[in-house]
Amino acid sequence: MMEKIKEAADHIKSIYGGQPGVGIVLGSGLGSFTNEINIEKEIPYADIPHFPISTVAGHSGKLIFGELSGKKIVAMAGRFHYYEGYTAQQIVFPIRVMKFLGIQTLLLSNAAGGVNTSLKVGDLMIITDHISQLAPNPLIGKNYPELGPRFPDMSEPYKKDLINKVKAIAAQKGIKVKEGIYVVVTGPTFETLAEYKMILAMGGDAVGMSTVPEAITAVHMGLPVFAMSVITDVGIREDHTAVTHEEVLQAAKAAEPNFAALFIELVAQL
Ligand code: HPA
């Protein structure tokens, strides 16, 4: 695997000579954030050796290199999910490659279902912690000491200083942000009512199908992480109506301007 990571990173370096300091993963419905980037180079995943290829509507599947807030960044437009049939190790491959490209901070985003009743559709939620017991861990299997330790500490997966920075930016811009615990599930089914209630009972505030494997991998490599959810639906509904992917994409789109304002200023302050 080390070889594959290096081959992918070397291939990218042969195409793009810049040095990104920040990696950004864009969640469902947040792809228009790429309009904020002064794009220098786009590389489709299909052109990168050993990269999986994204299959979900709303995830376009390329690495975007360029400038944001005057900083060199790399953004993943489209990420990989366990429900697509990839292994947990394949899902996190791009995160490892971005580390080998030299990023020093990883910013993650996602669309998530709210389970804490204080969360409403369109809310932005800073992920303060996660519960990863309902989905496979990407570090299962051979450990590569060049990447990190066999038993990584997870006492602060999401860096407090980054969380505090975003809270200060939000306060200064008058953008409301909430904080909460994200529970990752495999999907692709949205949860049953009983499952949403279980997730709430186990201490979760929101639930989704991504982000946590990527955060775990980054922490394993000593890469600081910040993560934010856009609440696109609420799980425990009085009317028991269905959750749809279209609804999720729509709600994420609506919340995108505030999300973008926070990420742009956070990158400026890194
Ligand atoms: N559950 C799981 N994943 C999700 C949801 C949800 O309700 N909304 C967006 N992603």
- Over 70: is that where the pLDDT of 213 sits? yes
The helix (H) or strand (E) run that includes residue 219 is helix 212-220
Bridge-based pairing state of the strands 71-77 and 22-26 = parallel
* Helix (H), strand (E) counts: the chain: 7, 9
Nearest CA to ligand 1 atom 5: 113
Evaluate the CA torsion angle 115, 209, 133, 109 in order and state its sign.
Answer: negative
Average pLDDT, rounded, for the chain: 93
Q: In this predicted structure, what is the pLDDT of residue 31?
A: 78
Total domains, the chain = 1
Read off the pLDDT of residues 16-66 as tens digits, 9 standing for 90 and up. 999 999 999 998 878 788 898 999 999 999 899 999 876 655 556 899 999
Ligand 1 neighbours (beta carbon < 6 A):
111-113, 185, 190-191, 207-209, 232-233, 235, 243, 248
223 Cα: distance to centroid of ligand 1 (angstroms):
26
250 Cα: distance to centroid of ligand 1 (angstroms):
13
Which residue from 190, 205, 241 has its CB within 8 A of the most atoms of ligand 1, so it is best to mutate? 190
190 Cα: distance to centroid of ligand 1 (angstroms):
6
Phi and psi at 23, nearest 5°, equal -110, 135
Boundaries of domain holding 25: 2-269
pTM comes to: 0.95
- Whichever domain contains 105, its CATH number is 3.40.50.1580
Give the whole-number percent of the chain exceeding pLDDT 90. Answer: 81
114 bridge partner residues: 206, 234
Read off the pLDDT of residues 214-255 as tens digits, 9 standing for 90 and up. 999 999 999 999 999 999 999 887 777 888 888 888 888 888
Answer with the residue of higher pLDDT: 158 or 241: 158
